[in-house]
A and B are shown apart, each in its own frame.
Chain A
């Protein structure tokens, strides 16, 4: 009976046209299931059993990635409701809280996801350090990771301004004043970031574009490189 249902579900022409083969029941089909699928083929078809152990990585890198994914989805949904204008932004936050169905949950998920991602990426870095996972041939991937960490902070920071409340405004004002203390280029750089002398409409739209376009694209690309390198470097670091 179950066999029959399985056959109908996994062996029909539509299923096979999508996944290119039936249910992966033997080793060869299992390899194919991974190799012939765009989203799975980032994995090797076979891995070391000990690399599967949770205590090897504590899952921290993968959790970082999942958080980034959740942030992309909730972020896109938020974009439907949010207008980056100094007269509108704050009102849109209020609307999310009181008028939009599940708006507050959406905003909360994005907020807590973002805070968690900063923490988890940092913890992932600590994991890699304490297991000496950065050694040859993974030096470059560690460097990619450091840049990812900086980009994660930048993403969080640019998002922090968008609600346009007192918390956002003054936090960003502090960070922006920091930029000014940079020698030689400080003043110009601050002007470039803020688009004027005060944190205002120009700063808001600049932070918005960085937050929803430039940095997410950059991070997506870096994560692709990061994952690709994990494979090219021979999977997770393990004792020789």
Chain B
């Protein structure tokens, strides 16, 4: 049976409608079909918690700022090179890597590949088990790999910060640096 334009239009409209409706449902209340008892109102339950957390952060930062002063050394002087010269702590892991071999590998290759792998993580792990749960057993391999990454990342920073002295030589934190 031939379908009239009008019929086709109304068919399409139905599609559009239901699509629009789903969108609306998803946007405003993304929790269709769930028991209402599982949910509660944002005001005041979430907002009060958020405000309290803000107070805590403020207290912490202000407290730190009262007791510890930000460092300020001599004015910048291109003709006096400190030994060792160190990057900010969050880059000291990279600086440490750099000292191991050709600078390209530690300085460019490792961080670039690192960021790319990080972005790809959700596309590599396609499982749906354990989403939203801490340390789900089905994720042991992923968690171990990620922990290795974190430990190496932080470990390198610790070495670069506390165990590197003049000309990037290795010194234990309690070892005095040679004076000359």
- Check if A and B associate: yes
In the complex, the number of residue pairs spanning A and B with C-beta atoms less than 8 Å apart equals 232
Of the candidates B90, B95, B108, B130, the one whose C-beta lies within 8 Å of that of A118 is B90
Per the 8 Å Cβ criterion, residues 118-140 of B in contact with A are 118-119, 121-123, 125-128, 130-136, 139
**A144 to B65, alpha carbons, bound, how many Å?**
31
**Given known A135-B128, A171-B88, contact A63–B53 (CB-CB < 8 A):** yes
**Given known A70-B61, A236-B132, contact A164–B68 (CB-CB < 8 A):** no
Chain B residues with CB under 8 A of A93 = 72
User: Of A9-17, A43-51, A206-214, which stretch is located at the interface?
Assistant: A43-51
Chain A residues with CB under 8 A of B75 = 90, 164-166
Is the beta-carbon distance between B57 and A34 smaller than 8 angstroms? Answer: no
Is the beta-carbon distance between B43 and A30 smaller than 8 angstroms? Answer: yes
Closest CB pairs A-B (n = 10): A108-B65, A169-B76, A139-B122, A111-B70, A234-B30, A181-B103, A170-B85, A237-B132, A238-B132, A166-B73
Chain A residues with CB under 8 A of B102 = 181
**A173 to B118, alpha carbons, bound, how many Å?**
28
Chain B residues with CB under 8 A of A175 = 87, 91
Is the beta-carbon distance between A130 and B70 smaller than 8 angstroms? Answer: no
Chain A residues with CB under 8 A of B118 = 146
Is the beta-carbon distance between B131 and A133 smaller than 8 angstroms? Answer: yes
**A48 to B68, alpha carbons, bound, how many Å?**
40
Per the 8 Å Cβ criterion, residues 196-235 of A in contact with B are 198-199, 231-232, 234-235
* Interface status of A3 (Cβ within 8 A of chain B): no
Question: A31 — nearest CB in chain B belongs to which residue?
Answer: B41
* Interface status of A190 (Cβ within 8 A of chain B): no
Question: B53 — nearest CB in chain A belongs to which residue?
Answer: A59
* Interface status of B46 (Cβ within 8 A of chain A): yes
Chain B residues with CB under 8 A of A33 = 43
* Interface status of A52 (Cβ within 8 A of chain B): yes
**A163 to B61, alpha carbons, bound, how many Å?**
20
Binding site for B on A (CB under 8 A): 24, 27, 30-31, 33-34, 40, 43-50, 52, 54-56, 59, 62-63, 66-67, 70, 86, 90, 93-94, 97, 104-105, 107-113, 115-116, 118, 126, 129-136, 138-139, 142-143, 146, 150, 153, 156-157, 160, 163-171, 173-175, 178, 181-183, 198-199, 231-232, 234-240
- Interface size of B by CB at 8 A reads 80
* Interface status of B175 (Cβ within 8 A of chain A): no
Is the beta-carbon distance between A46 and B61 smaller than 8 angstroms? Answer: no
Question: A234 — nearest CB in chain B belongs to which residue?
Answer: B30
A43 to chain B, nearest CB (A): 5
Chain A residues with CB under 8 A of B88 = 156-157, 160, 171
- What sequence of 0s and 1s flags, for each residue 73-98 of chain B, a beta carbon within 8 Å of any chain A beta carbon? 11111101110011111110011001
* Interface status of B180 (Cβ within 8 A of chain A): no
Chain B residues with CB under 8 A of A40 = 42-43, 47
Is the beta-carbon distance between A169 and B78 smaller than 8 angstroms? Answer: yes
Chain A residues with CB under 8 A of B77 = 166, 169
B153 to chain A, nearest CB (A): 8
Is the beta-carbon distance between A108 and B40 smaller than 8 angstroms? Answer: no
* Interface status of B143 (Cβ within 8 A of chain A): yes
Interface centre among A24, A66, A118 (most CB of B within 10 A): A66
Chain A residues with CB under 8 A of B107 = 178, 181-182
**A63 to B14, alpha carbons, bound, how many Å?**
45
* Interface status of B49 (Cβ within 8 A of chain A): yes
Question: B50 — nearest CB in chain A belongs to which residue?
Answer: A62
**A50 to B50, alpha carbons, bound, how many Å?**
15
Could you give 23 example pairs across A and B, Cβ below 8 Å?
Answer: A27-B41, A34-B41, A34-B43, A40-B43, A45-B41, A46-B31, A46-B42, A52-B46, A66-B54, A86-B76, A97-B72, A105-B66, A113-B61, A130-B146, A132-B130, A132-B133, A133-B131, A135-B128, A153-B91, A166-B73, A170-B86, A182-B104, A235-B31
